[in-house]
A and B are shown apart, each in its own frame.
Chain A
Amino acid sequence: MSDIKMSIESVDKFYGPINDSVAAVSNLSMQVQTGEIVALLGSSGCGKTSTLRMIAGFEEITRGNISIGGQLINRLPPVKRGVAMAFEGYALYPPLSVRDNIAFALKSTKLSQSEITSKVNAIADMLEISDILDSHPSSISGGQQQRVSLGRALIRDAELHLLDEPMGQLEPQLRALLRGRIKHYIKSNGLTAILVTHDQAEANALADRIAVMEEGELQQFDTPDTIKERPANLFTGTFIGEPPMNVFDASVHRDGDVFVFTLGQKNSVNLTYTQDQLGPSIGSMLESRENITLGVRPYAVTRRAEGVPATVMVNQWLGDQSHIAADFADKSLVMVEHDRSPERSGEDISIHLDPMSLHFFDSETGDALSHGGVLVS
């Protein structure tokens, strides 16, 4: 299925006078396919919530068009847009029981009472709220309220499901399980969902594609893997990925067939790679540059006997991963290993940065130049 469920075309949002005030969203265009889960990801004030509220119909669209299912919805009231929404503040109806809250939107449909009951029970099972169906919102915990709010949105048969920070309050022990179940539910029912979140773990876990936003502008809109492997710029490169990407400013010079990168000032480190190691097209890109920003993902840092020396500062074992911070070129280089590493702080290690896992960024603009030997076109 590749038909378009929702499309946003050149949308701007101003809260103050048009063009005079700061744009909450500027020139946003994106399309969501039917059956897709898309995450709008960004820090607070990046425009993701304004975007969601424009889709839902709670905010006026200053300029541009939004359509759902091929129909332009700019002027439609929220109720006619065919969207179901889970609100960040839950917005449960206090006088209704959890069961009635979830069933609320179904009451106006043609479903029989027994169909409604079985649907509510099924979704309550999925969200682990079967035991509180007869409670009222005021008597349940924040995490439970959030699950009820999710259930109320997911149970509806809508064109589009909008989920605003849907899992921030979930109990840590339930999180992985519920993420899996909800993803399964959305996929197996063929729903289309847009979730807004500031938590990249949530976006990564659920979304088919992630729209990274910052200061009202779309930075990148791609699959989680592509964003991780081929970030469009330094912002997405450092924003996505936990732990974040290691970034170093380096100077480059060419010495015959060899490129030398000098990282850091006081305890500078030289990385040397041959043209062949870097990849054929990278050489010509580097030719014209004196400075470059170099990034490497923590899990891509490896160790090798003949590597570059670094000193372990901290080695933290988290049960299933080890996080190591090492002193390297005046900064700390973070590495992730999936086994338990024995190093103690103060020990010297020898690390290796594989040229195929290096990301190069323009030092001035922050735009990505190449990823692992492939130039950005």
Chain B
Amino acid sequence: MSYLEVNRVSKHYKKNQVLQDVSLDVESGRTLVLFGPSGAGKTVLLRIIAGVVEPSDGTVFIDGEDMAPVEAEHRGVGMAFQNFALFPHMTAYDNIASPLTAEKLPASTIEERVQSVAKLLKIDHVLAQLPRALSNGQKQRTALSRALVGEPPLLLLDDPLRNVDAKLRFEMRLELPRLLSGRGATVVYVTQDYKEAMAMGDKIAVLNEGRIQQYGTPEDVYLRPATIEIARLFGDPVINLFDVTPNQGADGLFASLSGVDIPLPDLSEQIAGSECVLAVRPENLEFVDAKADNAIPVIVEAETPLNEKVITLAMTTGGREILLSRPAGAPGIASGNAHVAIKIDSTLMFDKATSKLLGSNSNESNRGEAA
């Protein structure tokens, strides 16, 4: 049963439409990631759920209850902010204790609970400090502790790892799910980092320009992105895009790339002769022998290693730039002439005009939009 339900929520400031007809639901104990570029409306949606911004239209239900008449302080949510939003004039202890003081709990209980959450997040030694004396990492952990200490059934995390350095971000990405799952809370997690989205989310809602573009599991979004734009947002390095016009040959569908005819998998749509975009993830391109089937001749321009992978920039004879990715240590070619092949079963085909994904059972992945 869904714990949080957002029903056709819209928000506009004067003429500026920030959210348009957004509907979502999150099951109890699950994590929903709101993913999108800055200005997509993620933060506003989170604040509407928290009750500090009123929607222009639509309803938010928490645990089945309409939240319209419920003030922020009575919604029982915990929230962590991107800029931490710590109270600068209170110690870390008082910051963390603030949700408990509101409940008027006895001092000993407050002390006990603050200490236990601080210990869990490894900040028990800085509780007496004011926020300005804390490092960025400690600030972030204090903000998280404050959101967690009241054990709220609904947790809203607004890009909590954005303002910490790369190392810490990585550490917290692995640590956070552990902290969250231990509490059984329902979580809405906002991020601009596709890795965080895939790592944290049971479901991902891709938000852009105030609308939900796709709503599905990390698998749906990565393997069956609804649009070219989404395909470009997920994955590092970015997905390769080739403009092609498929032809119907004797052995099936094929497209011509740099003078090489590449066979294409059959799709449910009839795409022969129409303008399409063939999208190939860098990890689905490999160096092959010149004599291999469908080998595309290229010139390797540069090799740039990236997190245990090696990224190669190559230029086809037709002047198209392509990016290849392979695990570090796997054999590759660092410069000069080479041949590459496409693992065709892992490619995606988009309609050039609408930029929509072709040939997928797109009903599943577009459910958010339809709901």
Asked whether A183 lies within 8 Å of B174 as measured between CB atoms, the reply is no
What are the interface flags for A302-338 relative to B under an 8 Å C-beta threshold, 1 for contact and 0 otherwise? 0000000000011011111101010000001010101
Q: In the docked arrangement, what's the CA distance between A181 and B311, Å?
A: 12
Asked whether B327 lies within 8 Å of A181 as measured between CB atoms, the reply is no
Residue of B nearest to A181 (CB): B313
Q: In the docked arrangement, what's the CA distance between A338 and B325, Å?
A: 11
Asked whether A316 lies within 8 Å of B199 as measured between CB atoms, the reply is yes
Asked whether B301 lies within 8 Å of A176 as measured between CB atoms, the reply is no
Quick one: given A299-B328, A319-B198, A319-B234, are A205 and B174 in contact (CB under 8 Å)?
no
- Measured between C-beta atoms, what is the minimum distance from B211 to chain A in Å? 20
Which residues of the other chain, A, contact B173 by a CB distance below 8 angstroms?
316, 323
Quick one: given A179-B304, A205-B304, A317-B198, are A173 and B232 in contact (CB under 8 Å)?
yes
Is the CB of A172 closer than 8 A to any CB of chain B? yes
Q: In the docked arrangement, what's the CA distance between A200 and B174, Å?
A: 20
- Measured between C-beta atoms, what is the minimum distance from B313 to chain A in Å? 3
Residue of A nearest to B218 (CB): A317
Which residues of the other chain, A, contact B175 by a CB distance below 8 angstroms?
325, 332
Asked whether A176 lies within 8 Å of B237 as measured between CB atoms, the reply is yes
Asked whether B302 lies within 8 Å of A187 as measured between CB atoms, the reply is yes
What are the interface flags for B52-64 relative to A under an 8 Å C-beta threshold, 1 for contact and 0 otherwise? 0000000000000
Is the CB of A96 closer than 8 A to any CB of chain B? no
- Measured between C-beta atoms, what is the minimum distance from A73 to chain B in Å? 30
Q: In the docked arrangement, what's the CA distance between A302 and B91, Å?
A: 44
Which residues of the other chain, B, contact A176 by a CB distance below 8 angstroms?
236-238, 282, 304, 306, 311, 313, 323
Q: In the docked arrangement, what's the CA distance between A338 and B218, Å?
A: 17
Asked whether A314 lies within 8 Å of B166 as measured between CB atoms, the reply is no
Q: Which of A172, A177, A299 contacts B308 (CB 8 A)?
A: A299
Asked whether A242 lies within 8 Å of B307 as measured between CB atoms, the reply is yes
Is the CB of A184 closer than 8 A to any CB of chain B? yes
Is the CB of A45 closer than 8 A to any CB of chain B? no
Which residues of the other chain, A, contact B234 by a CB distance below 8 angstroms?
319
Asked whether A224 lies within 8 Å of B305 as measured between CB atoms, the reply is yes
* Interface residues on chain A, number (Cβ under 8 Å): 40
Asked whether A313 lies within 8 Å of B198 as measured between CB atoms, the reply is no
Q: Which of B174, B281, B282 contacts A323 (CB 8 A)?
A: B174
Is the CB of A280 closer than 8 A to any CB of chain B? no
Asked whether B170 lies within 8 Å of A244 as measured between CB atoms, the reply is yes
- Measured between C-beta atoms, what is the minimum distance from B215 to chain A in Å? 18
| Interface residue ranges of B334-361 to A (CB < 8 Å) | none
Asked whether A314 lies within 8 Å of B237 as measured between CB atoms, the reply is no
Is the CB of B15 closer than 8 A to any CB of chain A? no
What are the interface flags for A178-209 relative to B under an 8 Å C-beta threshold, 1 for contact and 0 otherwise? 01110110010000000000011100111000
Residue of A nearest to B314 (CB): A180
Q: In the docked arrangement, what's the CA distance between A338 and B327, Å?
A: 7
Asked whether B323 lies within 8 Å of A177 as measured between CB atoms, the reply is yes
Q: In the docked arrangement, what's the CA distance between A172 and B304, Å?
A: 15
Asked whether A320 lies within 8 Å of B233 as measured between CB atoms, the reply is no
What are the interface flags for A330-374 relative to B under an 8 Å C-beta threshold, 1 for contact and 0 otherwise? 001010101000000100000000000000000000000000000
Is the CB of A243 closer than 8 A to any CB of chain B? yes
| Interface residue ranges of B7-50 to A (CB < 8 Å) | none
Q: In the docked arrangement, what's the CA distance between A249 and B323, Å?
A: 40
Is the CB of B87 closer than 8 A to any CB of chain A? no
Asked whether B305 lies within 8 Å of A318 as measured between CB atoms, the reply is no
Is the CB of A107 closer than 8 A to any CB of chain B? no
Which residues of the other chain, A, contact B195 by a CB distance below 8 angstroms?
318
What are the interface flags for A143-183 relative to B under an 8 Å C-beta threshold, 1 for contact and 0 otherwise? 00000000000000000000000000000111111011101
Residue of B nearest to A238 (CB): B167
Asked whether A205 lies within 8 Å of B311 as measured between CB atoms, the reply is yes
Is the CB of B162 closer than 8 A to any CB of chain A? no
What are the interface flags for A42-71 relative to B under an 8 Å C-beta threshold, 1 for contact and 0 otherwise? 010000000000000000000000000000
Asked whether A320 lies within 8 Å of B283 as measured between CB atoms, the reply is yes
Which residues of the other chain, A, contact B200 by a CB distance below 8 angstroms?
316
| Interface residue ranges of A226-250 to B (CB < 8 Å) | 242-244
Q: In the docked arrangement, what's the CA distance between A96 and B175, Å?
A: 48
Q: In the docked arrangement, what's the CA distance between A184 and B315, Å?
A: 11
| Interface residue ranges of B292-344 to A (CB < 8 Å) | 301-309, 311-313, 321, 323, 325, 327-328
Among A43, A176, A205, A206, residue most surrounded by chain B Cβ atoms (within 10 Å):
A176
| Interface residue ranges of A59-90 to B (CB < 8 Å) | none
Quick one: given A177-B321, A180-B313, A242-B170, are A320 and B235 in contact (CB under 8 Å)?
yes
Asked whether A206 lies within 8 Å of B309 as measured between CB atoms, the reply is no
Q: Which of B170, B232, B235 contacts A319 (CB 8 A)?
A: B235
Asked whether B170 lies within 8 Å of A243 as measured between CB atoms, the reply is yes
Provide a sorted-by-A list of 22 A–B residue pairs whose CB atoms are within 8 angstroms. A172-B238, A176-B282, A180-B301, A180-B321, A181-B313, A184-B313, A201-B166, A205-B305, A224-B305, A242-B170, A242-B308, A243-B307, A244-B170, A298-B308, A316-B177, A319-B194, A320-B283, A320-B309, A320-B325, A325-B174, A325-B178, A334-B174
Interface residues of B (CB under 8 A from A): 165-167, 170, 173-175, 177-178, 181, 194-195, 198-200, 218-219, 222, 232-238, 281-283, 301-309, 311-313, 321, 323, 325, 327-328
Apart from A244-B167, A321-B307: 14 A-B pairs, beta carbons within 8 A = A173-B232, A173-B238, A176-B237, A177-B321, A179-B313, A180-B311, A180-B312, A180-B323, A199-B166, A299-B327, A316-B199, A317-B198, A319-B194, A321-B308
